[in-house]
Structure 1
């Protein structure tokens, strides 16, 4: 982990971007850049005043190429199309990048993998330390239970979330399926209705709840005859996601060029 990584934030005007600015400040790292989309009304404002932490003396800009030289690493929670451009800019400048954007197409994922041959790239669907510890616990549970239990995943989010199941729920399902030697695309069951017949033990079930202001709750149940193990993660605010991304940014500076995830950042791959 770099002692004082110079961190740049793209998508700085969005909800997550603002939290990232706060998280960088709270971690005591220098904020080296705050980039917003072209035409934004925030251009020219002070990044600190943007998030209510006082003046930082850093002006918000709309062009990463103008400030990339000041950065050791970029954190990007934007859109797949914008991320594709940021990958090119970071590669040209030999600057690491931490990506929290979701919804990539296969060609966009391939571009990320190709870029990671030249610069270090961290990509994760969820940067919460708790979620990533949960993933490790799920792998251990799946390995221990094998095919002796039924696996069900229940997730809940706020009413405004537009995709279902959540990316985190799918990440959890993939972790379990991989450890069980199954292909999630073939065994996933998304909700049940009507006369479904007996449950196939090879399937992994998903149930989705949407309502109110729930930040994010995920529970994976390993259900056997006579006992049940539940592994749950509940988020009460979104700052833990931002703090995890900042932790990843500090960790990746100076690492060899390849693609990493939060399991690597937290040292969980070796456990």
Structure 2
């Protein structure tokens, strides 16, 4: 039996890519697409329910997994909607505040919720490998991250860069709020050993590049991930949807949960 999905933001970069991949997969069924009011024209070509609100789609498709790559406020509204119906929800939205994540964690008691700032399998593999590298190299190696995205990206640094920085901060026993350095300008003095630099580049149509630098005495190590297309993230989100379909409410799930035991 195929898994039914509802895709929000179906005219967006990620939403349209996800919807197309669902249609191409015989094991998946595109039950509905959602787009904001006044922007649904043309979505009928997907051959499924088309609606301007997730609340209208959910009663028609009980149990369908919702996949959401929209904006923080919209994603939070969608999480509140599925909390009322119990539908699973996979979110790849970035730029969420701590308060918004706290609300998501509370809503996860009512419906299976999954959130990751980056759905790439490769990036999430890095999140597991980087702490090992950090522990082997030790505190003598300075940590820096550079991320590059297309010029239309609205949040900075990227959610992925912040995730990588958090993983490294946790490994080193640092508070990222205090250790994160996002801009350097003027006479700022020598670099502090507890800093984690996170620098942002924007331009062109870059899908997403992230490089983690370990600057040590007499050498440096660079670990780079480059996303070649948005299908990379879309396929990760669909893998998460398959995994989440069998989970129960109770916690805000992540890629780390899905990859446990791998």
TM-score, structure 2 length as denominator? 0.91
Residue number among 218, 241, 245 corresponding to 1:249 in the alignment:
241
Report the CA distance shift for 1:65/1:208 in structure 2 as closer, same or farther (over 3 A): closer
Q: Structure 1 runs of 4+ off > 4 angstroms? A: none
Displacement after TM superposition at 1:178 (Å): 0.8
1:53 aligned residue:
none
Aligned residues, how many?
258
Map of 2:34 onto structure 1: 35
- Decide which moves more: 222-231 or 64-73: 64-73
Report which stretch shifted further, 154-163 or 166-175: 154-163
Tell me the residue number matched to 1:143: 135
Partner of 1:45: 44
Q: Quote the residue 1:260 is aligned against.
A: 253
CA distance in 2, matches of 1:41, 1:10: 11
Q: Residues of 2 paired with 1:63 and 1:189: CA distance?
A: 39
* Contact 1:8/1:73, CA 8 A, preserved across alignment: yes
Q: RMSD across aligned C-alpha pairs, in angstroms?
A: 1.9
Q: Deviations over 1:191-235 (max 9, x none)?
A: 323333222111111222222222111110112112222211001
Q: Is the 8 A contact 1:65 1:89 kept in 2?
A: yes
For residues 58 and 45 of structure 1, what CA distance do their matches in structure 2 show? 7
* Residue correspondence of structure 1 range 192-231 to structure 2 within 5 A: 192-231=184-223
The offset of 1:83, in angstroms, is 2.0
Asked whether the equivalents of residues 180 and 195 of structure 2 are also in contact (C-alpha less than 8 Å), the reply is: yes
Residues in 1 aligned to 2:73 and 2:198: alpha-carbon distance in whole angstroms: 29
Q: Which moved more, 1:199-208 or 1:34-43?
A: 34-43
1:172 Cα deviation (Å)? 0.7
Cα offset, 1:150, TM superposition: 0.7
**Which one of 35, 58, 64 corresponds to residue 68 of structure 1?**
58
Farther off after superposition, 178-187 or 138-147: 138-147
Structure 2 vs 1, CA of residues 41 and 24 (structure 1 numbering), >3 Å: closer, same or farther?
closer
Q: Pick which of 230-239 and 71-80 moved more.
A: 71-80
Give the TM-score of the pair, scaled to structure 1: 0.88
Which shows bigger deviation, 236-245 or 85-94?
Answer: 85-94
Pick one of 150, 153, 172 that aligns with 1:161.
153
Structure 1 regions of 5+ residues with no counterpart? 48-56
